[in-house]
A = this chain, B = another copy of it.
Amino acid sequence: MRISELSRRSGVPNATIKYYLREGLLPPGRATAATQAEYDETHLRRLRLIRALVGVRGLSVASAKQVLEAMTEHRTDPHEVLGIAFGIRPSGSGDPGAAEDDGTDGTNPEAAALVEAMGWSVSEHNPARQIIDRTLRTLRSLDVAYDWQALLPYAELAERTARYDLDRIESITDPLEKAERAVLLTFLLEPALMALRRLAQENESTARHGGRAHP
């Protein structure tokens, strides 16, 4: 399959496919000549995956690249992939690297306390820790008295969610397929889970305040 057919079958414009190739999100096709390369079903699949991560989930192209790299390399087992992939940040946020001026070392004490309390075994470097500490700090700066203990019930629910996530990929034997499924469920499901929460919030709000939905 040449690039035009790949474009036609995926619905992604020719120029955009070239862009993904340049950026390294899509591996190059098997070159058959100086101006000819052959693509196969794996490229088509990868392309759809890219579109899902970027379009539906809203990852930046750079973040999607990291996820895909982690997924493809999967040095030993899917566990690695999860560990690496879980640290990607959405496109919206600003500067990675140096914190603006809030003098935060890399300790994230609140996340650590939470992990300890839950009895979890997670890497010190998991960037999810940062997100938790940052969120709590931000909330408190807005006079919302939240600390890690306020997150405990949420952590409990997250634990069940994670168990359910892992159940769903346990039966897959092919490691690459398993890694792909893990990425899909982790990232692509995030907007849907938040959507579920909002539906449930509206329902719960309706139930408590007795109001009916706006027409």
Contacts and interface: CB of A to CB of B under 8 A. Distances in A.
A51 B155 CA distance: 26
B151 A196 contact: yes
Number of copies: 2
Given A59-B92, A121-B203, A135 B189 contact: yes
Contacts of A94: 55
Contacts of A166: 201, 204-205, 208
Interface string A20-47: 0000000000000000000000000100
Contact of A120 (B45, B191, B203): B203
A157 B160 contact: yes
A84 B214 CA distance: 9
A213 B101 contact: no
Contact of A131 (B48, B125, B164, B191): B191
By secondary structure, the A interface counts as: helix
A81 to B, nearest CB: 9
B141 A200 contact: no
A56 interface: yes
A115 interface: yes
A14 interface: no
A126 interface: yes
A58 to B, nearest CB: 2
B162 A154 contact: no
B48 A141 contact: yes
A98 interface: no
Contacts of A204: 159, 162-163, 165-166
5 contacts: A118-B203, A157-B157, A163-B200, A165-B204, A194-B194
